[in-house]
């Protein structure tokens, strides 16, 4: 089952050591390299990926959407932050997994029943996919853990939200 993932674009790029180093050279080139990495990840995993970038300082007057190599890219309109676009998309029930390290966005997403993956955790999955693509091997299919309600519960068991997050991380 393919996940619907929305990524807070600049949040991930600015928290990533790998991408942040390249921001000094060329802002646009870094963004293009990031999209290329996402394309390799999408080929390997098959997830539906949308990346939202800020356009609030120098963006377009209206929200701009485009698709590059199967990756949906959204630029927020001038005066609107990517956080607001992500919240609106999640509020509409469009996405099941959101990648961000922004605490405000993460809290909003969790309240609306979607799973939050930190930018660092997702970057690890992205790096593994990139490594697998370079080697030419597809990762083995992850098995899904089926949770039942037959047991009354283990006091050491993680909360349901954490278990859902762990399952999503396994799929990434």
For residues 85 and 82, give the distance between their C-alpha atoms in angstroms, rounded to a whole number.
Answer: 5
- Token output for 10: 């600049």
- 123 vs 26, residue with greater confidence: 123
Percent of the chain at pLDDT exceeding 90: 22
Which DSSP string do the residues of the chain spell out, in sequence order?
A: ---EEEEEHHHHHHH-HHHHHHTTT-HHHHHHHHHHHHHHHHHHH--EEEEEE--TTT--SS-EEEEETTEEEEEPPTT--HHHHHHHHHHTT--SEEE---HHHHHHHHHTT-EEE-HHHHHHHHHHHHHHHHHT-PPPPPPPPPP-SSS---TTSPPHHHHHHHHHHHH-
Instruction: Show the domains of the chain with their CATH numbers.
Output: 4-171 (3.40.50)
Position 138 confidence tier, pLDDT thresholds 50, 70, 90: very low
What distance in Å separates the CA atoms of residue 58 and residue 86, rounded to the nearest whole number? 19
| In the predicted structure, residue 12 carries a pLDDT above the cut 50 | yes
Q: Does pLDDT of 33 surpass 90? A: no
Look at residue 126 in the predicted model and tell me its pLDDT.
Answer: 84
User: Is pLDDT of 140 > 50?
Assistant: no
Exposure of 39 by Cβ count < 10 A (0-12 exposed, 13-18 middle, 19+ buried)? middle
The Cα–Cα gap between 22 and 31 comes to 9
CB count within 10 Å of CB 109 equals 25
Angle at 76 between CA 72 and CA 79, to 5 degrees: 175
Q: What is the reported pTM?
A: 0.73
């Amino acid at each position: 089952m393919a996940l619907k993932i929305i990524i807070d674009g600049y949040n991930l790029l600015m928290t990533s050591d790998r991408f942040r180093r390249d921001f000094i050279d060329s802002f646009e080139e870094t963004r293009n390299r990031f999209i290329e990495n996402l394309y390799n990840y999408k080929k390997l995993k098959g997830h539906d990926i949308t990346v939202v970038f800020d356009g609030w300082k120098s963006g377009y007057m209206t929200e701009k959407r485009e698709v590059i190599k199967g990756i949906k890219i959204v630029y927020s309109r001038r005066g609107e932050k990517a956080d607001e676009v992500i919240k609106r998309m999640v509020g509409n029930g469009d996405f099941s997994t959101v990648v961000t390290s922004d605490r405000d966005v993460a809290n909003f997403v969790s309240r609306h029943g979607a799973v939050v993956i930190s930018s660092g955790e997702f970057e690890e999955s992205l790096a593994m996919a990139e490594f697998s693509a370079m080697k030419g091997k597809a990762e083995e299919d992850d098995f899904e853990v089926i949770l039942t309600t037959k047991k009354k519960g283990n006091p050491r068991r993680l909360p349901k939200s954490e278990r859902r997050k762990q399952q999503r991380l396994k799929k990434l």
